[in-house]
Amino acid sequence: MKNHLLRHLQVLFYSLGELARAPLTAFMTIVVIGITLALPAALYALIGNLQRVGGGWDQGAQISLFLKLGTSRAAAETLAGQIRTMPDVASVRYISPASALKDFKRLSGFGNTLDLLDSNPLPPVLQVLPAGRTVGARAAQKLAQTLGQMPGVTQAQFDLEWVQRLDAILRLAQRGVLILALLLGVAVLLVVGNTIRLAILNRRTEIEVIKLIGGTDAFIRRPFLYTGLFQGLFGGLLAWILVAASLTLLAGPVRDLAGLYGSGFELAGLGLQAGTTLLLGGAALGWAGSRLAVSRHLRAIEPG
C-alpha cells in the first residue's frame, strides 16, 4: 500500500513537472478551461445576488385590502380585528381615505389638481402584513385571495407580486445556467481530451518502448490522468479568480446604485462552497477528458 502511494506521488510530481516544462501550452489550455468555467460560474453568482435582492424586498411583502367607498372607520376596524385573529397574519394597519389622499398628493405631485375635487375618491385601506412563515411563499398569495373574498373588501392586492414574477424568472434562469454549464462542461472535456491526445502522439515512441518492456496500460495512463486533473483544477481556480475579480470591479458601481435607492446591498461572491465545487468540478472534468482520450488512443499504440 505504501509503495503504491509513493508511485502515485511520484507520478503526481512528474505531471506537475511536465506542465512546467511546457508552460505556454499548459497556460493556454488552463486559460481556455478557466474562461469556459467562469461563464456559468459568473451567471450563478449573478442569479444568487438577484435572489438576495428579491428576498430582501420580499421580507416587506404586504397585502392591501381596498374597502368599499363609504365604509366607516368602525366597520373597517371591526374587519381589521377579524383579520388579526387569523394565524397567517402578523399585523393589520388601517389607512383612512383622508390619509391616503394626503399621501397620494405628496407622492404624485398633483396636489393642486386634487384640491379641485369635490370629494375624496379614495376608499379606506387595510394593510395586512403576513406572518413570517407566509412571506415569500405561495401561502401569501393564497392569503390575499382569502382576504379578497371577505365582506366589505372590493380588491386585495399583493404588493410584491412582481417579486414573485422575478423569482419565477430567476428559477428559469437557474435552469438555463445548468444547461449552459453542462454544454460548457462538454467543451472542457473536448479541450482536455485534445490536449492529452496531442501529448500521447508526441510520446508515441516512448509509450511503445514502455509497452515493449512490460509496462501496463494503467502505468502509462496514470501521468496523463494527473495532467488532465491538474489542468482542470487550475482552470477551475482561474475561473474562481476571474469571477471574483469581475465582482470586485462591479462592487463599487452596484453599491453606489443601491445607495441611490436607500439600500445597503453589496455584491456577494461565489462563497467557499460554490468555489470549492468549481475547483472539484474542473478537476473532475479534466480527469474525465483525459481518461476518455487516453482510453481511446492508448489501445491504438502497440509496439511494432
Instruction: List pLDDT tens digits, range 124-159.
Output: 888 887 776 545 556 677 777 787 788 888 877 776
pLDDT band per the 50, 70, 90 thresholds, residue 294: confident
pLDDT band per the 50, 70, 90 thresholds, residue 234: very high
| Mean of the per-residue pLDDT values of the chain | 77
* Farthest CA pair distance, the chain: 105
Q: For residue 303, is pLDDT > 70?
A: no
Identify the pLDDT of residue 238: 93
Using the Cα atoms of residue 66, residue 70, residue 76 and residue 78 in order, give the sign of their dihedral: negative
pLDDT band per the 50, 70, 90 thresholds, residue 109: low
Q: Classify burial at 25, counting beta carbons within 10 Å of its beta carbon; exposed 0-12, middle 13-18, buried 19 or more.
A: middle
**pLDDT tens track for 18-27:** 677 777 878 8
Q: For residue 237, is pLDDT > 90?
A: yes
Identify the pLDDT of residue 191: 86
Q: For residue 304, is pLDDT > 60?
A: no
In this prediction, residues 194-217 reach a mean pLDDT of 75
Backbone φ/ψ region at 262: left (φ over 0), alpha (ψ -120 to 50), beta: left
Q: For residue 4, is pLDDT > 80?
A: no
Q: Which three cell numbers stand for residue 257?
A: 446604485
Q: For residue 213, is pLDDT > 90?
A: no
Identify the pLDDT of residue 114: 53
Identify the pLDDT of residue 119: 63
**pLDDT tens track for 245-293:** 988 888 888 777 777 666 667 777 788 888 898 899 888 988 888 888 8
CA-CA distances (angstroms) from residue 48 to 42, 52, 244, 249, 267? 10, 6, 14, 17, 9
Q: Classify burial at 85, counting beta carbons within 10 Å of its beta carbon; exposed 0-12, middle 13-18, buried 19 or more.
A: exposed
Residue recorded with cell 438555463:
176
Residue recorded with cell 482520450:
293
Identify the pLDDT of residue 163: 63
For the chain, which domains are there? 2-57+164-298 (no CATH), 61-159 (3.30.70.3040)
